[in-house]
Amino acid sequence: MFDWILTDKVRAAADLLYNGGQMDETDARNVVKWLQEESATHIQKRVGKEFYKKYFPTNRHGGGWRNGAPIGWVDHYTAGIKCSSTLRWFSKRDRGPGVGNSCAHFVMDHDGTCMILVSPLSNITWHATWANRTHIGIEHINAGRLEKGDDGEFLYQGRHLYPVKDDKPIQEVNDKFWEPYTSAQIASNIMLKRLVSLALPTLEEEKFVDHQDIDPERKEDCGPLWPLHELNDFAFSWENANKISVLNEKTILTKDDVDRFKKETRELNTATTIRVS
């Protein structure tokens, strides 16, 4: 499931968590640190060694958490299609006058690869206005809502041509068009939330939200194809995630697949739910 993980010890920990196992806080914090060490290789692969050498580790972070530790988590989509562009945007490079220091703790690629830019164990990032000093932020590579032009072509961010692919069909929900997420992103999100919730026991499930919850006047992420509430329920229960058939069968999650994920998750967590004390 987590072939993108480079070292056996981190992959073993990820598999343990995904399949319902737990670990103590110290071990979980160590896994977070190991994953951050691996992230350097993943980031270099996407931005190149020279760019990495010049701009990473990123300095786009703030001080410590309010009251010493985070209490929540915010899921985002990038509104873009390339991981390399997001990583470059979250680097030290000068963005020009009047441009802020936005960044996130995690960036997750389409294949589920999760990269730690800023450790959630120590520093805040600027990703969600009023929630920055209390909430961890993760960006999933996804174009989000797409606009359909008169010529039938689709745009993301209102101006960039979206590359339509047969194996990644655009999904229409409530008369709006969206890029689908991948099962790898869902699986990695579950694993990561389980890991970080053990490393940081101050986190509260009811404070795991998406960007739209934080800033509903401006933001739409993560959109209707992101099963936020069911995903968080699953992340805080300790059922074996391999029991969710859609994550084992699909690569791209269509609207129907997302509905299946929600249904299967609700049924599983209703039948038996064990939560972290």
pLDDT in tens, 160-181: 999 998 888 999 999 999 999 9
Q: State residue 268's pLDDT score.
A: 87
Residue 84 burial (C-beta neighbours within 10 Å; 0-12, 13-18, 19+): middle
Q: What is the pTM of this model?
A: 0.95
What mean pLDDT is reported for the chain?
93
Type of residue numbered 222: C
Report d(CA 250, CA 189) in Å as an integer. 16
| Tens digit of each residue's pLDDT (9 = 90 or more) over 44-68 | 999 999 999 999 999 899 999 999 9
Q: State residue 274's pLDDT score.
A: 45
Residues of the chain with pLDDT under 50: 273-277
Report the DSSP beta bridge partners of residue 76: 139
| Domains defined along the chain, listed by start | 8-271 (3.40.80.10)
